Amino acid sequence: MMMEAPAREPVNFVGLLKDAVFAAAIAFGLFSLMLGLKTDQTLNNQMVLVPRPGLLFTVVGLVFVGRFLIGYWQAINAGKIKKRKAAATPLALKIEKYGTAAFVGFLFVYPMMVLGTAGPSGAIKWIDNFGIQILIYIMLGWGLNIVVGLAGLLDLGYVAFYAVGAYSYALLATSEPVKEFMAGAIGPTFWPLWAFWICLPVAGILAAFWGVLLGFPVLRLRGDYLAIVTLAFGEIIRLVLINWVEFSGGYAGISSIPRPSFFGVPFNATESGFAATFGLEFTPIYRTIFLFYVILILALITAVVSTRLRRLPVGRAWEALREDEIACRSLGINTVNTKLTAFAIGAMFGGFAGAFFAARQGFISPESFVFLESAQILAIVVLGGMGSLLGVVIASILLVGGVELLRELDFLKAYFGDNFDPAQYRMLIFGACMVLMMLWKPRGLISVREPSVFLKEKKAVSSDLVKEGHG
Amino acid sequence: MEVFVQQLINGVTLGAVYGLIAIGYTMVFGIIGMVNFAHGDVFMISAFVALICFMAVTALAGMTGGAVFLALLVALIVSMIVTSLFSWTIERVAYRKLRGSFRLAPLISAIGMSILLMNFVQVAQGARNKPIPPIMRDTIRLFEKDGFVVAISYKQILIILVTALLLGIFWYVVQKTPLGRAQRACEQDQKMAALLGINVDRTIAVTFIMGAALAAVAGTMFLTYYGVVVFSDGFVPGVKAFTAAVLGGIGSLPGAVLGGMLIGLIETFWSAYFSIDYKDVAAFSILAIVLIFMPQGLLGKPEVEKV
């Protein structure tokens, strides 16, 4: 251990070693049972304990080394005076502005780039798993950002509105009476082709309605209590979806949901399909690319609407509400309406994203709408820096994209053996990231805030001056 | 009537488990004003530690009556120690630094910790249900009517007795010892308590340890009662115990026990008389209703809003 450190007078190695030994002892206490012994079932269902001393001592050793290195790093940096960060420069705002434009441009050419480099068969994975998956979370993040970031209402049940959107579309699109009615009124091919485009706004409106419905009882609650009640609502909706089998299909969910069409032109190999209509060779990639653009446009609409809303009276009222509810009420702002509009508009975007999700998957079940999803969306908003649209993008790419990347790390099997599956560690790493992010930057990655209203010139507000979550 | 009495016994047993977990929530909320979201998972870990311990002892000593009793005792004590260590480490690593930070930071850190613990157990011990061999299956027949036997099992008696005993000890610690006095002082005003020479950090750490030790008792009893544990078992009991804490009035210790009993009873009666499918919906609805209409709970003090 000692040789890693260059000889420096002030570093107290004995103290560091003591710390490291202490940490290792704690780790041994924590893990000797949980990691050192594994409960296994034999073929005749007997429970047996399998000792794993190697793993235990590796982990304890890692904790020892890790604690020592962290202590050493802290010790050599202790004397240095931290350079004070200049309070948010206009430059940071400029970077955000032009960076955003460049990034949106990049997103529009992304499918083509991937198609060019990876070819049609390899591109699906990159557009679907990375592009679409990340964009869905960006959109959800931006939707939740209205509730949490702007209005300061901590919502742990956002996934409920995502579920409302998804089930609205799935139920309407697969319902026989609606199909028959439409077939009778317009034509037999109309509903399967246009269901998505008609149901998308309906799903948004229904989700907004649920936002008001669930928002109404919690108007008086604040902070942690609000968080827990919204969590309860989210769970209640999921449990009802599981148990009300006649309505939602229970655990089995709803399958064969119609896919969106290219405004009436289906993506299939038939004469009237997309490829034939435009004189292209049929591959499934066109639908994926089309879905990518649909979610991209939906996400951009969310972003534009939320930036514009911020400047309207209602948006300013949201931000005032976030800063201080009592002052807000004293100034004559109707907090009831302000909160309900935040819930409704946030929920509406969740509903749009849900309808898109159902259309993209073609199958939904309550398993997709567990609490973990809510936590993940909230984590994206908070890690990005509440109120910051760009922050949500960065956090989504890091969290969702990073987790997806773990599935690609199959080469690690060469080192750890065939039983090693990196994907099973993704939620473990995700949870650790949430904790570490809070310890390192509790205000999120982008904690500079651009003021929505200003006199003469914009001055960025350092996040240390604002407080969220008291709503 | 027979069904009623039987469900009453079952409900009180379940309520004892919820009450013990709820104390951890209520104490931490009372002292630092945060919802320790990871507490449910600490409870789950305690059940796993107890399971491993129980298996280790019975593997060495066999499955005779005395050995099973010894194994349970060892499992309980080891689980209390290891779980306390977990809770202490969690507080030290994930919460302590965030104490002065903005209000959402500890909650989000706790949610992250909860996800971390759940997946740690899944990776370390596997995702399958972990059963233990059935133990203490004997019951005492209380009375019988029209073929329906009302019975109380030794397990249930043990759970209720241990809970009552621990609550007594716990009450004594909080009310009569210097440690309890320091805790109550920190609850009222941390800065003032620190000025008067109380080690606030240590007091908060001890609060986490006490909450975890009681959760470990609940975890061991949960394991003996249901005979099975799985990595995702922390979430729902955790939320229910939190509901219990809120129902009883958060920050109030008798309230947590009362709330736990009520939640346990409501859940068993709901399952017996209405529908077992919706029992979790019932618990979650109570949480929402209590927070909306009676946020101070049954025994809590109303929160005064200061400008």
Q: pLDDT tens for residues B157-178?
A: 888 898 889 888 888 888 889 9
- For B88, other C-beta atoms within 10 Å of its C-beta total 18
Q: How many domains does chain A have?
A: 2
CA distance A275 to A162: 32
**CB nearest to A438's CB, from B112, B132, B242:** B112
Q: What is the pLDDT of residue A470?
A: 39
With CA atoms as reference, the chain B residue closest to A220 would be: B292
Domain residue ranges of chain B, discontinuous segments joined by +:
2-240
Q: Based on the domain organization, do A185 and A316 belong to the same domain?
A: yes
Q: Tell me how many degrees the CA angle A96-A102-A107 measures, rounded to the nearest 5.
A: 120
B243: left (phi over 0), alpha (psi -120 to 50) or beta: alpha
Q: Which two structure tokens, joined as six digits, stand for A98?
A: 């032009």
Q: Which two structure tokens, joined as six digits, stand for B247?
A: 């129902």
- Residue numbers in A near B245 (CB within 8 A): none
Last residue of a domain, one of A46, A78, A110: A78
Question: Amino acid letter at A329?
Answer: R
Residue A49 lies in a domain: yes
Mean pLDDT of the region B130-135? 80
Cross-chain residue pair A223–B103, CB shorter than 8 Å: yes
With CA atoms as reference, the chain A residue closest to B103 would be: A469
Residue B123 in contact with partner chain A when CB distance is under 8 A: yes
Scan residues 358-377 of A and list those with Cβ closer than 8 Å to B.
Answer: 371-372, 375
Q: Which two structure tokens, joined as six digits, stand for B215?
A: 């959760």
Nearest Cα residue to A131 out of A116, A146, A109, A161? A109
- For B245, other C-beta atoms within 10 Å of its C-beta total 35
- The answer to which of A66-80, A316-330, B32-46, B73-87 has the lowest mean pLDDT is A66-80
CA distance A161 to A157: 8
Residue A428 lies in a domain: no
Cross-chain residue pair B280–A235, CB shorter than 8 Å: yes
Residue A208 lies in a domain: yes
Residue A278 lies in a domain: yes
Mean pLDDT of the region B58-68? 82
Q: Which two structure tokens, joined as six digits, stand for B145?
A: 């009517």
Cross-chain residue pair A227–B35, CB shorter than 8 Å: yes
Q: Based on the domain organization, do A169 and A71 belong to the same domain?
A: no
CA distance A195 to chain B (A): 32
Q: Based on the domain organization, do A43 and A170 belong to the same domain?
A: no
* Contacts for A181 with CB less than 8 Å, ≥ 6 apart: none
With CA atoms as reference, the chain A residue closest to B242 would be: A228
Q: What is the pLDDT of residue B116?
A: 92
Last residue of a domain, one of A78, A95, A130: A78
End-to-end C-alpha distance for chain A, whole angstroms: 50
Q: What is the pLDDT of residue A9?
A: 56
Q: What is the pLDDT of residue A85?
A: 53
Residue A157 lies in a domain: yes
Scan residues 197-226 of A and list those with Cβ closer than 8 Å to B.
Answer: 217-218, 220-221, 223-225
Residue A301 lies in a domain: yes
Are A449 and A466 within 8 A, CB to CB?
A: yes
CB-based burial of residue A164 (10 Å sphere; 0-12 exposed, 13-18 middle, 19+ buried)? buried
Q: CA-CA-CA-CA torsion for B2, B4, B6, B8, nearest 10 degrees?
A: -150
Q: Based on the domain organization, do A145 and A262 belong to the same domain?
A: yes
- Residue numbers in B near A33 (CB within 8 A): 49, 52-53, 78, 82
Residue A187 lies in a domain: yes
CA distance A104 to A93: 17
Q: What is the pLDDT of residue B101?
A: 77
- For A47, other C-beta atoms within 10 Å of its C-beta total 17
Nearest Cα residue to A370 out of B118, B218, B18, B125? B118
User: A273-307 burial, b for 16+ CB within 10 Å, e for fewer?
Assistant: bbbeeeeeeeeebbbbbbbbebbbebbbebbebbe
Q: Tell me how many degrees the CA angle A238-A239-A241 measures, rounded to the nearest 5.
A: 65
Residue A239 in contact with partner chain B when CB distance is under 8 A: yes
CA distance B122 to B125: 6
Cross-chain residue pair A236–B130, CB shorter than 8 Å: no
Which residues sit opposite A265 in a β-bridge?
Answer: A262
The DSSP symbol for B234 reads G
Are B17 and B257 within 8 A, CB to CB?
A: no
Q: What would you report as the CA-atom Rg of chain A, rounded to the nearest whole angstrom?
A: 26
Q: What is the pLDDT of residue A138?
A: 92
CA distance A444 to A148: 13
Q: What is the pLDDT of residue A457?
A: 67
pLDDT in tens, B180-225: 889 888 888 888 889 998 899 999 999 999 999 999 999 999 998 8
Q: Based on the domain organization, do A34 and A129 belong to the same domain?
A: no
Whether B39 shows a pLDDT value over 50: the answer reads yes
- Helix, strand, coil tally for chain A in percent (to 5): 70, 5, 25
Quick check: helix, strand or coil at residue A315? helix
Nearest Cα residue to A141 out of A298, A322, A324? A298
Residue B63 in contact with partner chain A when CB distance is under 8 A: no
- Residue numbers in B near A371 (CB within 8 A): 235
Q: Can you give the residue range of the structural domain that contains A158?
A: 122-393+443-465
- Residue numbers in A near B104 (CB within 8 A): 154, 382, 468-469
Residue A450 lies in a domain: yes
Q: What would you report as the CA-atom Rg of chain B, rounded to the nearest whole angstrom?
A: 20
Cross-chain residue pair A224–B108, CB shorter than 8 Å: no
pTM: 0.86
Higher per-residue pLDDT: B306 or B127: B127
Nearest Cα residue to A243 out of A252, A231, A234? A252
- Which residue in the block uniquely carries the two structure tokens 């308590």? B193
The DSSP symbol for A254 reads B
Q: Which two structure tokens, joined as six digits, stand for A63?
A: 């904790």
CA distance B130 to B122: 11
CB-based burial of residue A41 (10 Å sphere; 0-12 exposed, 13-18 middle, 19+ buried)? middle
**CB nearest to A236's CB, from B94, B126, B281:** B281
- Residue numbers in B near A49 (CB within 8 A): 52, 55-56, 59
Q: Based on the domain organization, do A149 and A73 belong to the same domain?
A: no
Q: Based on the domain organization, do A71 and A163 belong to the same domain?
A: no
Q: Based on the domain organization, do A126 and A72 belong to the same domain?
A: no
Size (chain B), residues: 307
With CA atoms as reference, the chain B residue closest to A426 would be: B119
CA distance B94 to B109: 6
Q: Which two structure tokens, joined as six digits, stand for A304?
A: 């534009």
Q: Based on the domain organization, do A60 and A130 belong to the same domain?
A: no
Per-position pLDDT tens, chain A of length 471? 444 544 455 678 888 888 889 999 989 888 888 888 888 877 777 778 888 888 888 889 999 999 889 888 888 877 665 555 555 556 666 776 777 788 888 888 887 788 777 777 777 778 887 888 899 999 999 999 999 888 888 888 899 999 999 999 999 888 878 878 877 787 777 777 788 888 899 999 999 999 999 888 888 877 778 888 898 899 899 999 998 888 888 888 888 888 887 777 777 777 777 777 777 777 777 888 888 899 999 999 999 998 899 889 998 899 888 888 888 889 999 989 999 999 999 999 999 999 999 998 889 999 889 888 898 898 888 888 877 888 888 888 888 888 778 777 766 666 666 666 777 787 888 888 888 888 888 777 776 666 666 666 666 555 555 544 333
CB-based burial of residue A417 (10 Å sphere; 0-12 exposed, 13-18 middle, 19+ buried)? exposed
Nearest Cα residue to B158 out of B81, B254, B73? B73
CA distance A241 to A253: 9
